[in-house]
Amino acid sequence: MKDAAPSTQPETFYLKDYTPFGYVVERVELVFRLSPEATRVLSKIRFAPNPDVSDREFFLHGEKLKLISAQIDGAEVAPNVTDTGLSCEVPDTPFTWEAEVEINPKANTALEGLYMSNGMYCTQCEAEGFRKITYYPDRPDVMSTFNVRIEGDEKVMLSNGNPGESGEGFAEWHDPWPKPAYLFALVAGDLLNHPDRFTTRSGKDVELNIWVRPGDEGKCAFGMEALKKSMTWDEEVYGREYDLDVFNIVAVDDFNMGAMENKGLNIFNSSCVLASPETSTDANFERIEAIIAHEYFHNWTGNRITCRDWFQLCLKEGLTVYRDAQFTADMRSAPVKRIEDVIELRARQFPEDNGPLAHPVRPEAFQEINNFYTATVYEKGAEVIGMLKRLVGDEAYYKALDLYFNRHDGQACTIEDWIKVFEDSTGRDLAQFKNWYSQAGTPRLSVDESFEDGTYTLTFRQKTPPTPGQDHKDPKVIPIAVGLLTPTGDEVLPTTVLEMTEAEQSFSFEGFKTRPIPSILRDFSAPVILTRDSSAKERAFLLAHDTDPFTRWEAGRELAKASRIAMVIDGASPDSNYLEALQSLVRDDHLDPAFRALVLAPPTESEIAQALADQGVTPDPDAIHDAAETFAQTLAQSLSDSLPRLFAATLVDGAYVPDAKGAGLRALNGRILGLLTRIDGGEAATKQFETANNMTVQNSALACLLKAEKGDAQSQAFFEQWQDDRLVMDKWFGLQVATARPERAPAIAQSLTEHPLFTIKNPNRFRAVMGALAMNHAGFHQADGSGYRLLADQLIALDPLNPQTTARMCSAFQTWKRYDAGRQDKIRAELKRIKATEGLSRDTNEMVSRILD
């Protein structure tokens, strides 16, 4: 499939070009002789001609490998070796391929393949990292069992599957489940384990371990509980049991992504598994629980059933994100989780879907697959599954999933296989639904209403704007959940799912005496942008009375946006109706604190910028920032009488428990403290910082003080307290940039890159500073271009070391066409400067080229 790429023009791979590999792999045996700079990898692979393929080519991927020797059936061979792999004459009958290669884990700063992190060996193979370990058909549709022997003097030496023999200087592992190479993993180092056990519902006893560097063993208990909850949940909800004798999780500090679902040996970015009340916030705890679940759920949706090729990535990722969201909803609060996910989707996926990087949930072409681990594949991929479930109903959904697991266990599948399972089990024709997988862009949904003779009619129109390479869009199937309320707040139509399939479509409801008030897109039933002319009065009514928590919250969000936009465009004052609505909501102690905190969370400045751009107004980041500040200040003043009481009422005393209830209270408390700090000169925040007994409140106190530019002493104290804790120091780095006044943000970020504890090689630390800069909307978009320049400088420096993380961070520039000509010129110049960098990686080159286009 992948041939040597010509050195200038990077090769593009297409979904339509898929052909199966000419050989099947029956067995893989690997021996690793570990050495930091010269690890030897011996492979012994049993190949047989694939009877389904007539035109067979024996090509094995391999990159940055030193080939020592190669044999076929014991006889030396001299393969034709290039930068990307090797080809070789092979027999027409089954044969054994053996090769020995040498690799240099210590020099591997890309963190792909076998690399070292703090003296520990670890691997990352998804998507195409295994080819940096040995020569192999590195494609997900080639599946095999693996036997691994690790030789070295490391205390702990782990690989996939079940442990085999071990002794002085070696350890063996056998993975009985056929898997693609991207699920291979190896870890070796001086590690300590936090052990536990789990009995599956059919009575299988499983050994569980979380492996960490010495010193981190006190931060494993929460992750372990999350793992056991995930195992139980997957049995109860999806009927899926674990299938090996051991399940190992390892925490590593240097990792490009969140975590990786390697079979039986999940590897985690330490920030996504290590937790303690003193060092982790509520948000960290929730995220860790979700990621542990996500990786564990991959054991069935990803590992037992995998992807035929990387174009099908959403087959495992969309489904697994959907499953982890269901899990979090069950463990915590379903409405809160839904609102959080919509905020995320709008912050990360909508900009992608509405800019130069837009691509379908199932992309059809790529140069570098690492660039397609996107919010579209993951989060929109999950939304698509949510819509499917809403359309077929819960029972039919689980029936279809049973069929999926039964029919496809052990296979490498496509989106067609997935859809077919739903068609076969429900009898529905899902041809039109597949547009969600093939057509990029966020549909715009508009709605008109009419009321006549007791009949209430909603008329919807859908339109998806063109995206790169896709001018024409067909109508999609859109499940629109609606409810109707009377003007006194009674629900006259409980949530009903309307199935829209046409470009324009009406739905009528009969038998009303008075005109009802509609609540549309309940639970955010489809990933669309809904526009509806609605009065502030009606929105305030829904904010007060809607029975669906999502649309209730959304009504507040719409009010907030409208008010902010009026402030920016017309210089209006904060909308007094909205201020009043907020005040009464915040003071309403009967309402869930977590919900109140979400209603108080202002729309992001980037969201306002997009809303303005959608109305044809060029967003001015400084004006948007000023409006946000004015609004918050006005709200704080208008609530000033109640803030001290509210602050006291939301304090959680006693020992810290990272559950949803406490987290909700602390979230509200943090919001209140933010407002209070605006009027009390930082008194409450200072006190809270001094008495904090957990990171959530310590962190929020420091954030408030830094924002008020009254936190120098506390920042110094925080540094001294936590300088030896890498994860807490990431917070310290990030907070200073996130809270910086816009005109100071680039300079603060710049000086942090010169701090002794800053290192460009650690993705977490790099993201802490540069990610925070990109998120500080008005700071990043300083008119003098200093934010752009700093990010570009850093990306140019990082690219030769770590292309994957560099390329991902380029997306900070994806919204550039929203802004004025001056800013556009400056961004274009930076993008061109990056693109012109000599030796630029394929990853970054692809991203920058697409953004510039």
Q: Which does 260 bind (CB under 5 to 8 A by kind): Zn ion, ligand PHE, none?
A: ligand PHE
**Three-state DSSP state, 770:** helix
Nearest to ligand PHE of 299, 354 (CB atom)? 299
- Of 172, 295, 340, 607, the active-site residue reads 295
Residue 659 sits at the vertex; the CA angle it makes with 586 and 291, to the nearest 5 degrees, is: 110
Report 36-75 residues binding Zn ion (CB under 5 A).
none
Rounded-to-integer distance, Cα 723 and Cα 344, Å? 30
| Residue 762, amino acid | N
Q: Which does 138 bind (CB under 5 to 8 A by kind): ligand PHE, Zn ion, none?
A: none
Using the contact rule CB under 6 A, the part of the chain among 120-128, 348-356, 463-471, 840-848 near ligand PHE is 120-128
Report 319-338 residues binding Zn ion (CB under 5 A).
320
Non-local CB neighbours of 24 within 8 Å, separated by 6+ positions: 47, 48, 49, 50, 142
* Least distance (Å) between residue 127 CB and ligand PHE: 6
Nearest to ligand PHE of 126, 368 (CB atom)? 126
**Is 361 in contact with 373 (CB distance < 8 Å)?**
no
Q: Spell out the SS3 assignment of 542-591.
A: HHHHCCCHHHHHHHHHHHHHHHHHHHHHHCCCCCHHHHHHHHHHHHCCCC
Rounded-to-integer distance, Cα 277 and Cα 694, Å? 5
Among 61, 294, 473, 522, binds ligand PHE (CB under 6 A): 294
* Least distance (Å) between residue 777 CB and Zn ion: 28
Using the contact rule CB under 6 A, the part of the chain among 53-61, 119-127, 409-417, 511-519 near ligand PHE is 119-127
**Dihedral class, residue 661 (left if φ above 0, else alpha if ψ from -120 to 50, else beta):** alpha
* Least distance (Å) between residue 764 CB and ligand PHE: 14
Q: What are phi and psi of 268, to 5 degrees?
A: -120, 140
Nearest to Zn ion of 187, 257 (CB atom)? 257
Among 108, 117, 123, 124, binds ligand PHE (CB under 6 A): 124
Using the contact rule CB under 5 A, the part of the chain among 128-136, 314-322, 422-430, 723-731 near Zn ion is 314-322
* Least distance (Å) between residue 302 CB and ligand PHE: 7
**Is 730 in contact with 768 (CB distance < 8 Å)?**
yes
User: Which residue is listed with tokens 């063996």?
Assistant: 172
- Give the chain's end-to-end CA distance (angstroms, integer): 27
- Establish whether 76 is a catalytic residue: no
Tokens, residue 151: 């030789």
Using the contact rule CB under 5 A, the part of the chain among 191-199, 309-317, 663-671, 725-733 near Zn ion is 309-317
**Is 239 in contact with 406 (CB distance < 8 Å)?**
no
**Is 605 in contact with 538 (CB distance < 8 Å)?**
no
Using the contact rule CB under 5 A, the part of the chain among 230-238, 312-320, 444-452, 591-599 near Zn ion is 312-320
C-alpha R_g of the chain:
27
Q: Which does 342 bind (CB under 5 to 8 A by kind): Zn ion, ligand PHE, none?
A: none
**Is 632 in contact with 675 (CB distance < 8 Å)?**
yes
Nearest to Zn ion of 128, 558 (CB atom)? 128
Using the contact rule CB under 6 A, the part of the chain among 254-262, 752-760, 766-774, 843-851 near ligand PHE is 254-262
Among 120, 259, 477, 639, binds ligand PHE (CB under 6 A): 259
Q: Which does 259 bind (CB under 5 to 8 A by kind): Zn ion, ligand PHE, none?
A: ligand PHE
Q: What are phi and psi of 508, to 5 degrees?
A: -115, 150
Report 349-388 residues binding ligand PHE (CB under 6 A).
373
State which residue has the least CB distance to ligand PHE: 257
* Least distance (Å) between residue 299 CB and Zn ion: 11
Tokens, residue 632: 């918050």
* Least distance (Å) between residue 373 CB and ligand PHE: 5
Among 295, 353, 546, 730, binds ligand PHE (CB under 6 A): 295
Among 226, 250, 257, 315, binds ligand PHE (CB under 6 A): 257
**Does 447 help bind ligand PHE (rule: CB under 6 A)?**
no
* Angle separating helix axes 593-600 and 549-570, nearest 10 degrees: 20
Q: Which of 473, 379, 442, 359 is nearest to 850 (CA)?
A: 359
* Least distance (Å) between residue 787 CB and ligand PHE: 28
Residue 348: DSSP 8-state? I
* Least distance (Å) between residue 800 CB and ligand PHE: 20
Q: Which does 224 bind (CB under 5 to 8 A by kind): Zn ion, ligand PHE, none?
A: none
CA atoms within 13 A on the CB side of 597: 24
Could you write out the DSSP letters of every residue in 6-19? PSSS---EEGGG--
- Across-strand partners of 96? 46
Report 305-324 residues binding ligand PHE (CB under 6 A).
317
Among 63, 172, 261, 799, binds ligand PHE (CB under 6 A): 261
- Across-strand partners of 47? 25, 95
Q: Which does 250 bind (CB under 5 to 8 A by kind): Zn ion, ligand PHE, none?
A: none
**Is 46 in contact with 27 (CB distance < 8 Å)?**
yes
* Angle separating helix axes 313-331 and 221-238, nearest 10 degrees: 100
DSSP H helix total and E strand total for the chain: 30, 31
Sort 536 into a burial class: Cβ within 10 Å, 0-12 / 13-18 / 19+: middle
* Least distance (Å) between residue 183 CB and ligand PHE: 9
Using the contact rule CB under 6 A, the part of the chain among 256-264, 633-641, 738-746, 761-769 near ligand PHE is 256-264
* Least distance (Å) between residue 426 CB and ligand PHE: 28
User: Which residue is listed with tokens 């004015």?
Assistant: 630
Sort 269 into a burial class: Cβ within 10 Å, 0-12 / 13-18 / 19+: buried
Rounded-to-integer distance, Cα 433 and Cα 138, Å? 32
User: Which residue is listed with tokens 């564990």?
Assistant: 296
**Does 242 help bind ligand PHE (rule: CB under 6 A)?**
no
**Does 260 help bind ligand PHE (rule: CB under 6 A)?**
yes
Nearest to Zn ion of 253, 261 (CB atom)? 261
Q: How many residues bind ligand PHE (CB under 6 A)?
A: 11
Report 83-102 residues binding ligand PHE (CB under 6 A).
none
* Least distance (Å) between residue 261 CB and ligand PHE: 5
Tokens, residue 6: 């010509």
Helix or strand (DSSP H, E) at 194: strand 192-199
Could you write out the DSSP letters of every residue in 383-433? HHHHHHHHHH-HHHHHHHHHHHHHHHTT-EE-HHHHHHHHHHHH----TGG
Using the contact rule CB under 6 A, the part of the chain among 257-265, 334-342, 407-415, 704-712 near ligand PHE is 257-265
Nearest to ligand PHE of 295, 368 (CB atom)? 295
* Least distance (Å) between residue 560 CB and ligand PHE: 32
Q: Which does 126 bind (CB under 5 to 8 A by kind): Zn ion, ligand PHE, none?
A: ligand PHE
Using the contact rule CB under 6 A, the part of the chain among 139-147, 259-267, 464-472, 600-608 near ligand PHE is 259-267
Q: Which does 61 bind (CB under 5 to 8 A by kind): ligand PHE, Zn ion, none?
A: none
- Across-strand partners of 205? 199
Rounded-to-integer distance, Cα 555 and Cα 540, Å? 7
Q: Which does 124 bind (CB under 5 to 8 A by kind): ligand PHE, Zn ion, none?
A: ligand PHE
* Least distance (Å) between residue 802 CB and Zn ion: 20
Binding site for ligand PHE (CB under 6 A): 124, 126-127, 257, 259-261, 294-295, 317, 373
Looking at the annotation, which residues are catalytic? 295
Binding site for Zn ion (CB under 5 A): 317, 320
